[in-house]
Structure 1
Amino acid sequence: GTWTTVWTDLLTDLDYYKGRAYAIEDVPGNDEAFYAFIAYPIDLFEEGSVVNVLTSLVGNVFGFKAVRSLRLEDVRIPVAYVMTCGGPPHGIQVERDIINKYGRPLLGCTIKPKLGLSAKNYGRAVYECLRGGLDFTKDDENVNSQPFMRWRQRFDFVMEAID
């Protein structure tokens, strides 16, 4: 596992790359909860990849069995890193215009299970989500173009579901 010491640890500057808990504070009114302030070296993250930052910060941590509950309260990203991000090609207004939804939050979900659905069944799941009132669905981060569900086939079935 991630926390097992292996010989290749000796080939890295592990102390430099470790996250650092630089402060821990009590949560007012809750004796069993704490705020942990953690900093990571910017070199851990691929330039321009917000997905990499978020996956690294919260991806695996929220799945730890040893952690009973966890909530991310704040993320502060250095300006130098933000400057490496190109940003989206357009903003939320364009998205709202495309789907003709205004005056309320947009509601979406990630199709599950993340692996193993055929392209046809994936399209069916999208159809049911949209029919049930969701505004959008998204692929799980592990869904790419695997042999059991190629991207083009998935795209075709999703477009059929949207129409």
Structure 2
Amino acid sequence: MTVIHSAEFAREGGVLDGVIPVAAMLRLSDQLASNGGEIRWSLSGSVDRFERPRLSLTVSGELQLVCQRCLAPMAWSLDVSTVLTQFPTEEQADEAAELDETLETVLIDPALDVPALIEEEVLLALPYAPLHEQCAAPGDEPLQSNTKPNPFAVLAQMKTRKAE
């Protein structure tokens, strides 16, 4: 487990990178078809023009998600880059975010768990409902057939009977 003081790391221009097995990301596991593979990441620190500490994080890899249409596994490419500007208090972070809607804020953390930060960014990047471009191969039966009668068809028949 890698732990840093987030503001000191940023002010010193720290740089870390590495690889995390997908299986080590426990909060992510229920979103996946398979927990194989790994996530590559890089974290660097700096200060912005206002001398605020910030963390630049890039995360990439391939995850096996579950298609919400056909429920089959699907490969999904992960490629996230984010800059997190740090603030000592929630009030200062909220005030800065009001002035700049594009600003992503976090609180300064004297014991920032880097793998937890990376897992959080991966979770935020996941699509709400992952879908294949095309689920079934041509000629395959769809997973669920839509053979139920349209409930409004009965109303249409009633309407045409009244008109007669």
Give the structure-2-normalised TM-score: 0.20
**More RCO (CA 8 Å, sep 6+):** 2
Greater helix content: 1
Q: Which has the larger radius of gyration?
A: 2
Greater strand content: 2
Give the structure-1-normalised TM-score: 0.20
